[in-house]
A and B are shown apart, each in its own frame.
Chain A
Amino acid sequence: MIFIPSLSLAQDRSLLLKTGFVAKFAQFTAWPEDYSPYSENIVITVLGDDPIFDAMNKFYINKKIKGFQIKIKQIFNINEIDSPHILFITKNMKSELNTILEYIQNKPIMTISDTEGFCNKGVLINFYLTKKGTLHFELNYKVMRQSNLKINLLLLEIAKVIK
C-alpha cells in the first residue's frame, strides 16, 4: 500500500524513469581515461533541491554501471561542482544556468536536466514529456561535439536532436 511520497520509487514513475535513463546514458558514454579522481565510481551530482536526488539514492543502491559503483551527491552552489561524470541541473538553478555552463566549460561532464529550454541553452540532454504522456529526451548536438565525451550513436538515433 502506498499513500505517502518518496517511500518507494514506484511512487513516482516519472522520477523512476529519469533515473533509469541517466543510467542508460552513462552506459552509452565513455569518459576520457584520465578523467575523475573517483576511479572506482561513477559520480552523479545533483545541483539544486529536487526529489530526483532521493530517487537516485534509492534507485542506485547495489547497482553498478559498467562495473563501477554509483555515487550520488547533492550540492547547492556552483563552486561545489567537483568533477562529476554527470551533473543533473535542477529546475531551480534556472537563473544561474549560464554561469553553471561557463563554470564547467571544457570539462568532460555530461549535463542533464528536465526543464524546458535547458537543452537549447547548452545542457547536453534534457527530458521532456511527449503528447502521448511518455518520457523522452532531447540532445544538443553542438554541445556533444564540443565535449570530450564519446557518446554512442545509438543515443543520437533515439534522441530528439537539437542542432
Chain B
Amino acid sequence: MENMKSFRKIFIFLQIFITLVGISKLYATEKYENLNPDDVFSMSIEEMLQVVVVTASKHEEKISDIPASVVIFTRSDIERYGFVNLEEILENVPGMYKIDDMSAYKPVFGVRGFWSGSPKNIIIMINGVTQTEGIFDNFALTQFNIPVESIDKIEVIRGPMSVIYGPGSFYGAINIITNEKSSEVLKNIISVSYGTYGTKKTSLHSRGQEGDINFTFNAGYSSTDGQNEPLSIMSSKVDTLPYINSTNNNTKNRLENDSKHINISVYYKNFSANMSFNKSNDEIYGLFPTFSGGSSYLRETAKMKVGYEKKFSDFFTLTAKATYHNFRFRVNFDWFNFADSGYTSGESNIYEGELNTYFNFSDNLHLINGLYLKRISDNLMDANLHNVKIYTKNSALDYTDLLAFYSQIDFKPLDKLRLVAGFRLEQLLNYDILLANNPGKENSYYKTDTYEEDSVDFIPRLAAIISINEKNILKLLYGKAITRPSFFQNTDQITSASPDLHPEKIQTFELNYIAVPFPVLTINTSIFSNILDNLVVRTFELQSDKSIKTFSVNAGKMITNGIEFTIQTQPVESLLVELSASYQRTNDKREGFENISVEYSPHFLGYFKGSYKFNNNITFALIANFVDEMETHWKVDEINPDGTYGKRIGDRTDSFFTISTNLRVDDIVGKGFFFNLHCSNLLNEKYLFPTYTTNSNWMDKGAIGDPFSVLLTLGRKF
C-alpha cells in the first residue's frame, strides 16, 4: 500500500514533465509516400511547394536511422501487389506467419517462431488509436476490418516496444495510417469488388481540405460465404461426432462473414479528432462442430480520440490525447442438436489519457517524456449455455487502472553514432472481480476476489545506430516488453482458485545490418535472440480424489535464436523484386520439455515478391510464400494408454507453399478508373493450419488453409 502511494506521488511529480509521444510520429517517417519520381517530374513548382516533407514536430528521419527494425508498406505497395486485406499484407512481413483455426480470433499472427493462440503480442493502432478492448486485451483483426483501400501507409515496428506503447507490444507495433494530410483540395477513391465464395466488398476513401480543416473519411463493407469443404479434411473423427451427418458434415455457409467499418479524422490547427465504428459478424467453430447454420461471433467497437499538438518553440513541443473505447461482443453457439445452444457476451469501456513532451536540446540531443493512464470500466462477461448447463456472470467491481511514465533520450555523440535509451515504469492497480455461477437460480454461487499483482514494472530499451557510411548501417537493439493477463484470464484463475498471473516477459537482442552495395540493391540482415519468460501455460494437478484440476501458471520459458535475410532490388525502373528468408529455432526451457518440439513454431519462413510495370499504368505482380511445418499444442494432462501424461492435441501440419498474382490497370481512359484482378493460392495448394485448443475435441488434423480465390475490383480515383 505504501509503495502504491509513493508511486502515485511520483506520477504527480512526473506530471510536471509533459511528454511528446509523437514517438510514433518521431519514428514513423512520412518519407514513404506514394510520391514517385514520375509524379514529381510532372508536377508544377507550385504543386511541389505544397508537399509536406516533415510534420511540424519532428525532424527528417530516414528509416535507416530509426532505432528499431521497421517495415513500411505504402499505398502504392498495397496497390502494386493487390493485397486484398490486412492479413495478406502482414503475411509478407519478414518473420510473420498466420494460423487461422476458425475459432474466435480468426487469423492470429505469430512472429519469429512464437504464436500464443490469441492476438495480443503485437499492438495494432489505426491513426495512433490502439485497437484493443478491455476483456481479452487482444488485437483481433476482425475487430476493425480496415478496408485496404483506406490505408495510406502501414508501419510495422518490430521488436519489443513496450517502452513507448505499453503492454502487449511483445513483438512490436503496427500503425495503420488512413488520414495522412494532403495538400490536394479533394481526393476520393471508391471501389467495388466481387470474388469467389460470394465475396463482396465496397469501400470509400475521401479526404480534403477546407480552409484550416483537413478531413479524411473511410468506409468499407465486406462479406463472404467462406469455403465449402468436408469436415473430414479437418477431422478423423467425423463419423463418431454426435449430431454430425450428411447435412452438416461440411463448412458450407458455416464460415460466413460480414463487416462494416467507418473511420473519420479531422484536423483543425493544433487539434485533431478521430472516430471509428466497426461491426463484424464471423461464423466460427467453437469447441464443437456446427450443427446448423453456424456459431457466430458478433463484435461491435466504437472509438473516439481527441488530440492536441503544439510546437511552442524549436526546443519544446507538447502533445496530448484522450481516447474512449467501447467494445461489445456476443457469441451464439450452434452445437450438438440445437441451432441455439446458448451464448456468451460481454462489454467493456476503456478511457485512455496521454501527455507527452519533446525537448529538442540540439540537433544531437532530444528527450521525450510521457505520462499515460488507462482506465477500464464496466467490464462484464456472461454466459448462458443452456445446452451444457453453464450460466455465469463475471464483472469487475471497480475500475482497472493502468498507470505509466516513460522517458527516452536520443543522443548523437558522433556523426556516425546515435544512441537511444529509454525506460517505462508501469503499474496495474488492484481490482476486484465478482464471479457469479447460475445467477438468479436456486443453486447460485457468488465469489469475489482481488487481482493483486500490482508491482511496478521497469521496462528498458537501448539502441545504437552506427552509420558506417551512407551505404552501410548497423543497429544494435535491446528491448524488453511485457504482456499482462487479461480480465478474462484473471476470471479463469479465480474460477479455478489459482494464484494471480504475472505479466509475461520478453527480452530481445538484435543485430540489424543494412547494406546498399549498389544503388539498385539493398540487403537487410537481422540476427536475433528472444528470451520469453513467465509465459502463461496450462498445467494440472492430480487431486486426492484422482480427478485432474487444470489451471494456468506463469511457468513457460522459451528461447528463440534466429536470422532474417531480405534482399530488395530494382534493376530497372519498372521491375521491383524482393526476397526474404527467416530461420529460427525455439527451445522450450521448462523441465521435462527438453525433447518436445515447440508448438506453432515454423523453423523456416520465406517469401518472394516481384512486380513489373508496363506502360506506366499496368502492373503485374507475383507473390510466393513458404511456411514450414508446425506442431500442435502439447496437452500436459492428457493421459496416454501407458498411463503417462502429455500428448499433442493434433497432427503436425506439413509445410506449404502458395503463389498469388495480381494484375492492376490504373487511370483507365485517363479518368482515374482502375481495375484489379487478384488471384490467391493460384495453384490451389491444399494445406492445413495446426489445430489449437479451442477445437481440439474434434479438429485433430488441422484447420483448412486459404483456398484458391479470385477477387475482381473496379474503382475510381477522383
Q: Give the B-binding residues of A (Cβ under 8 A).
A: 1-14, 16-17, 19-21, 23-24, 49, 51, 54, 57-59, 61-63, 129, 131-136, 154-155, 158
Contact = CB atoms under 8 A, between A and B. Distances in A.
Nearest to A62: B573
Interface string B70-92: 11111011000000000000001
A13 B516 contact: no
B40 A16 contact: yes
A1 B31 contact: no
A49 B37 CA distance: 22
A129 B52 CA distance: 9
A63 B41 contact: yes
A21 B40 CA distance: 9
Nearest to B524: A4
Interface stretch (B60-68, B108-116, B233-241): B60-68
Most buried by A among B37, B70, B73: B37
Contact of A13 (B53, B56, B92): B53
Contacts of B63: 2-5, 11
Nearest to B65: A5
B34 interface: yes
A14 B30 CA distance: 10
A136 B31 contact: no
B73 A10 contact: no
17 contacts: A3-B63, A3-B524, A4-B516, A5-B516, A6-B516, A7-B570, A11-B31, A13-B51, A14-B54, A20-B41, A20-B43, A21-B48, A57-B519, A63-B37, A133-B53, A134-B49, A158-B46
B483 to A, nearest CB: 25
The 10 closest A-B pairs by CB, nearest first: A20-B40, A4-B522, A5-B64, A3-B71, A14-B53, A133-B54, A133-B52, A7-B522, A13-B31, A13-B53
Contacts of A135: 48-49, 51, 53
Contacts of A12: 31, 62
B570 A8 contact: yes
Contacts of A129: 53-54
A131 B54 contact: no
B534 interface: no
Interface of B: 30-37, 40-41, 43, 45-46, 48-56, 60, 62-64, 70-74, 76-77, 92-93, 470-471, 473, 514, 516, 519-520, 522-524, 566, 568-570, 573, 576, 578, 609
A65 B298 CA distance: 59
A57 B570 CA distance: 13
A49 B41 CA distance: 24
A154 B93 CA distance: 46
Given A2-B72, A14-B31, A63-B41, A7 B52 contact: no
A1 B578 contact: yes
Nearest to B514: A4
B52 A134 contact: yes
A51 B40 contact: no
B516 A1 contact: no
B514 A5 contact: yes
Given A11-B31, A54-B519, A136 B49 contact: yes
Contacts of B60: 14
Contacts of B50: 134
A154 B297 CA distance: 62
Contacts of B576: 8
Which of A8, A19, A154, A158 has most chain B Cβ within 10 Å?
A: A8
A161 to B, nearest CB: 15
B34 to A, nearest CB: 7
Given A7-B520, A49-B470, A129-B54, 15 more contacts: A3-B70, A4-B63, A4-B568, A5-B64, A5-B514, A6-B470, A7-B522, A9-B36, A10-B32, A11-B31, A14-B31, A59-B40, A59-B41, A63-B41, A135-B48
Contacts of A57: 519
B78 to A, nearest CB: 9
B53 A10 contact: no
Nearest to B78: A1
B415 to A, nearest CB: 9
Contacts of A17: 40, 48, 51, 53
Contacts of A3: 63, 70-72, 524, 566
Contacts of A154: 45
Contact of B522 (A6, A19, A23, A134): A6
A158 B523 CA distance: 41
Contacts of B470: 6, 49, 51, 54
B51 A59 contact: no
A38 B473 CA distance: 37
Contacts of B524: 3-4
B37 A59 contact: yes
B310 to A, nearest CB: 12
Given A7-B568, A20-B41, A24-B45, A13 B35 contact: yes
Contacts of B54: 14, 129, 133
A126 B578 CA distance: 37
A19 B35 CA distance: 13
A82 to B, nearest CB: 23
Contacts of A61: 573
A142 B519 CA distance: 38
B327 to A, nearest CB: 31
Contact of B56 (A24, A132, A136, A155): A132
A39 to B, nearest CB: 23
Contact of B53 (A11, A131, A134): A134
B48 to A, nearest CB: 6
B136 to A, nearest CB: 30
Contacts of B471: 6
A92 to B, nearest CB: 9
B436 to A, nearest CB: 49
A142 to B, nearest CB: 22
A24 B514 contact: no
A67 to B, nearest CB: 15
A31 to B, nearest CB: 19
B53 A1 contact: no
Contacts of B51: 13, 17, 134-135
Nearest to B62: A5
B174 to A, nearest CB: 13
Contacts of A54: 470, 519
Nearest to B58: A133
Nearest to A65: B41
Contacts of B77: 1-2
Contacts of A58: 37, 519
A1 B62 contact: no
Contacts of B40: 16-17, 19-20, 59
A24 B48 contact: yes
A49 B416 CA distance: 14
A60 to B, nearest CB: 9
B609 A1 contact: yes
A9 B40 CA distance: 10
A93 to B, nearest CB: 15
Nearest to A3: B71
A5 B522 contact: yes
Contacts of A59: 37, 40-41
Contacts of B52: 132-134
A13 B578 contact: no
Contact of B74 (A2, A6, A14, A132): A2
